[in-house]
Amino acid sequence: MPTCLKGTIEFIGKNVHSEFKYTLSPTDFSMSDTFMANFKKFGFDNEEKLTLSQEYRKAILTYTNLEKEDLYNQAKAFIRRAQRLKAESLEVKAEGQGAFICLVAIFSGELPVNKQFFFTLNSVPLKLIKKEFLKKKSKPSCVNIDLRFDNTCWLNSLESLKECPKFLDIHDDTIIGNWVDAA
């Protein structure tokens, strides 16, 4: 169904404000792919199943159908942009699929270590990220991550999608006090 997904990732730093525009092309899916029977593998509890509308099932499929090469190419372009920006610390704001691009960049091992990165990732269904998208097992020390889900986030009724998979060594740095405003 989706042909391409477009969005923006924002960089903010001292005397720096830049936007990275991305386009992702997930594999197409058919209407029959959105049938409830196809979502048993996610292990939703009964309450989540009641809120799993067709709109939410389509949203889930846009994440599960993202292409590895497509994400890598966007992550590489994101890293090149980060390298060119003249700031010692950068706040990076992204949501949805843009947050997936950020996670691929973070766990690529290619982010410049001479900069401090403070990622604010909104509305990211961590459970849907595939292990094959990540090259490294843990995030570099130059990266702090703030995970956010606002009151209108579609994931609030699907709490299990917010869960971090075991292969992803990530924690929300705001909880342990590592968060600093980069600007």
pLDDT in tens, the chain (183 residues): 556 889 999 999 998 999 999 999 988 899 999 999 999 999 999 999 999 999 999 999 999 999 999 999 999 999 999 999 998 999 999 999 999 999 999 999 999 989 999 999 999 999 999 999 998 888 888 999 999 998 999 999 999 999 988 888 776 555 444 444 444
Instruction: Give me the helices (H) in 25-149, please.
Output: 46-51, 54-64, 68-84, 97-106
| 50 Cβ contact partners less than 8 Å away, ≥ 6 residues apart | none
Angle, vertex CA 156, rays to CA 152 and CA 162, nearest 5? 125
Q: Is 21 exposed, middle or buried (0-12, 13-18, 19+ CB in 10 A)?
A: exposed
Quote the radius of gyration of the chain (alpha carbons, Å).
16
pLDDT on residue 2: 53
Which one, of 2, 3, 7, lies nearest residue 122 by Cα?
A: 7
Separation of alpha carbons 78 and 92, rounded Å: 11
Angle, vertex CA 131, rays to CA 125 and CA 104, nearest 5? 70
